[in-house]
Amino acid sequence: RIAIPGTNNQTTLFMPASTSTSRGIKIATLATAPAPETPHNDSLPSIASTKSNTSTASSSSNPATPATPTSRLSSLSLGPSIGSSTKSAPSTQSSTTSPIGSLTLLTSSGTPYAFLSASTLTAFRTALAATTIFTRRTSVHTLCVFGAGLQALWHIRLALLLRGPEIHHIHIINRTFERARKLMETIYTSPEWEKLRNSNSKLGFSIVSNDYGEYNRLVKEHVRKADALFCCTCSSIPLFPAEYLTSVEGRRKGRYVSAIGSFRHDMIELHPDILRQAVAPEQHKKHHHKHAERGGVVVVDSLEACLKEAGEVRQAGLGAEQLVEIGELLMVKKASMKAIEGGGEGEVGLKRWLQAGNVIYKSVGLGLMDICVGEDLVMLARERGFGTMVEGF
């Protein structure tokens, strides 16, 4: 893959790949999200979700009433009551950070046969890979999602499709409230989400944005309580302090942490200390404080690409021996060997770690995934009569 920097903090990626039946190249332009402003330390409510039985009149007549911390999806109001019960600072978001581009597919002999938009394709295939380990987790009661773009949308959608009845809380944390509100509006009003939002009466959503008071306290609380963290931003600074997860209190609970937003060495979502602790050898002695199991490695989509491009991996100073590709992990071989070499229990310990331990997954994107998913999408489109055929091309 080749990365070409552009203006306005944009980068265009050229990602060629091939399978036994197709060749192809994805060209995608992505932007780096601006660093968040310092959260205001005022009395504005930090959770921007309200119950639908709160009318506009009652909200405006008592504007100091804080918004409900978690509202049931079936009773979430996205109408005027939100605007009247919360105050939002002006949005600093000038452009989308979602990928823009295309995927071109060719036959094995080089004949072009399909041309697809890369935006939804990229978000879907990224979330598909990230939820591979998520499906194996023992507990998925509470999710914390950083970001509110297409990546965040597809991570939430696939999580609900795969483990919906077990998920009770989804906390969305975003730089600006408006984009998170639009995501919630899609979830709550789109016919495509109707089955998901009606299938679990216990499911609740909340929104935290940088321009609300008590931002730091709420982020710490949500991160600590989360069973799974999905980081879906193009951030250039860590999304939260390392100690939220590396301290004694932060290590009591096992979590699945997926960081898929940063794709350059100068971009970072997770503090390097989080990765350093994840790969540090276990001290084989009695611990005074109980903590969740570590695997000794960080899971990646591509060893070569992450060593070269992933900001978290590079800034943490990790080497190839401290990373394991998700494909190898699923085949168990390399990961089991690493566990045994570290004094672990091999496959038994590996399974326990994947199900309940602290697992970090770092992704920068694989062209091969685009080709494989693209092939299947074209096949489905042909079967269902979608798309436009260009004869004699």
**Which DSSP string do the residues of 53-95 spell out, in sequence order?**
TS-HHHHHH-TTSPPPSSEEGGGEE-SHHHHHH---PPP---S
β partners of residue 268:
none
Q: Band of the pLDDT at 358, cuts 50, 70, 90?
A: very high
Query: Confidence band (pLDDT; 50, 70, 90) for 379?
Result: very high
Is pLDDT at 323 greater than 90 in this prediction? Answer: yes
Q: Calculate helix-pair angle for 333-341, 347-356, nearest 10 degrees.
A: 100
Contact between 373 and 124 (Cβ < 8 Å): yes
Residue 307: pLDDT above 50?
Answer: yes
CA 362 to chain CA mean position, Å: 10
| Among the listed residues 84, 75, 118, the one whose alpha carbon sits nearest the alpha carbon of residue 100 | 118
Secondary structure E strands in 236-384: 256-259, 298-300, 323-325, 359-362
Query: Among 149-153, 339-343, 350-354, which stretch is predicted with the lowest mean pLDDT?
Result: 339-343
**pLDDT score of 374:** 95
Which residue type, as a one-letter code, is found at position 167? I
* pLDDT band per the 50, 70, 90 thresholds, residue 211: confident
Give the pLDDT band of residue 38 (cuts 50, 70, 90): very low
Of the chain, the percentage scoring pLDDT greater than 90 comes to 59
Instruction: Provide the 10 A C-beta neighbour count for residue 285.
Output: 6
Q: How far apart are CA 102 and CA 333, in angstroms?
A: 35
- Using CA atoms, how far apart are residues 110 and 113, in angstroms rounded to an integer? 9
How does DSSP classify residue 127?
H
How many whole angstroms separate alpha carbon 122 and alpha carbon 300?
A: 17
Residue type, 336: S
β-strand partners of 5: 11
Span 161-180, average pLDDT: 95
Q: What percent of the chain has pLDDT over 70?
A: 76
Does residue 286 sit in helix, strand or coil? coil
**pLDDT > 60? residue 1:** yes
Provide the pLDDT for residue 349. 77
What is the residue-averaged pLDDT of the chain? 81
- Please give the residue that has the higher pLDDT: either 242 or 29: 242
Q: In the predicted model, is pLDDT for residue 97 greater than 70?
A: no
- The whole-angstrom separation of Cα 257 and Cα 387 is 36
115 vs 265: which has the higher pLDDT: 115
Q: Widest CA span of the chain, in angstroms?
A: 72
User: Is 280 a residue whose pLDDT tops 80?
Assistant: yes
Question: Which pLDDT band holds residue 393 (cuts at 50, 70, 90)?
Answer: confident
Residue written as token pair 């399974």: 351
Residues belonging to the chain: 393
Count helices and strands in the chain by DSSP H and E runs: 15, 16
pLDDT of residue 216: 94
The whole-number average pLDDT for the span 34-53 is 42
Q: Residue 71: what pLDDT?
A: 37
Phi–psi pair at 73, nearest 5 degrees: -60, -35
pLDDT at 62 over 50: no
Ranking 22-31, 76-85, 222-231, 332-341 by mean pLDDT, the lowest is 76-85
